[in-house]
């Protein structure tokens, strides 16, 4: 924690890229997977890439520390290196800064501006109530 402090502001979206995030989502859902499995899930949708492309992505992500793998035997078994929630927090925090100047309320406004069901709203409010209680507990 010494020299990077100054030019660290350049660290904007050095998070996962688009393709990387897609793969992470598969890994989060499968817990653990081979390249073949990941590739099959990806190409179930609209993705039209070769196995090698997926493999290369996993290599890159391993380099970046986004995934870990078990390579004692073949097919190597991959795993997300970062929990889903943590990455999501990072992504939201990033967007909050980049597009909203940190104004949380504006983000919520944008989130609820589109059509959102009352069911979802109630769900969210329930969640916020729980959150508030937690805050109160810690405050005491």
Show contacts with DNA in window 37-96 (CB under 7 A): 47-53, 55-57, 59-60, 71, 73-76
Q: What dihedral do alpha carbons 125, 127, 128, 133 form, nearest 10°?
A: 130
Q: Pick from DNA, a copy of itself, none: which does 96 bind, CB < 5 to 8 A by kind?
A: a copy of itself
Q: Give me the least distance between CB of 12 and a copy of itself, in Å please.
A: 6
* Residues of the shown chain interacting with a copy of itself in the complex, contacts defined by CB under 8 A: 7, 9-10, 12-13, 18, 21, 25, 45-46, 85, 87-89, 91-93, 95-96, 98-101, 104-114, 116-118, 120-125, 127-129, 131-132, 135-136
Q: Which helix (H) or strand (E) holds 115?
A: none
- The per-type count for the chain, helices as H runs and strands as E runs, is 6, 2
Contact at 8 Å (CB) between 69 and 78?
A: yes
Q: Pick from a copy of itself, DNA, none: which does 57 bind, CB < 5 to 8 A by kind?
A: DNA
Residues 6 or more apart whose CB falls under 8 angstroms from that of 66 comprise 16, 20, 24, 80, 81, 82
Q: Would you say 10 or 138 has its CB closer to DNA?
A: 10
Contact at 8 Å (CB) between 78 and 27?
A: yes
Q: Which segment (13-21, 86-94, 111-119, 127-135) binds DNA by CB under 7 A?
A: 13-21
């Amino acid at each position: 924690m010494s020299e990077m402090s100054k030019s660290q502001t350049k660290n904007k979206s050095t998070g996962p890229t688009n393709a990387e995030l897609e793969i992470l989502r598969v890994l989060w859902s499968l817990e653990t997977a081979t390249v073949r499995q990941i590739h099959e899930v990806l190409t179930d949708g609209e993705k039209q890439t070769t196995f090698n492309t997926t493999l290369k992505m996993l290599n890159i992500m391993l380099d970046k520390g986004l995934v870990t793998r078990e390579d004692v035997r073949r097919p190597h078994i991959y795993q997300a290196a970062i929990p889903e929630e943590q990455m999501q927090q990072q992504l939201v925090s990033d967007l909050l800064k980049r597009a909203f100047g940190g104004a949380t309320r504006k983000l919520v406004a944008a989130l609820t501006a589109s059509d959102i069901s009352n069911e979802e709203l109630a769900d969210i409010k329930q969640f916020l109530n729980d959150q508030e209680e937690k805050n109160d507990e810690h405050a005491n």
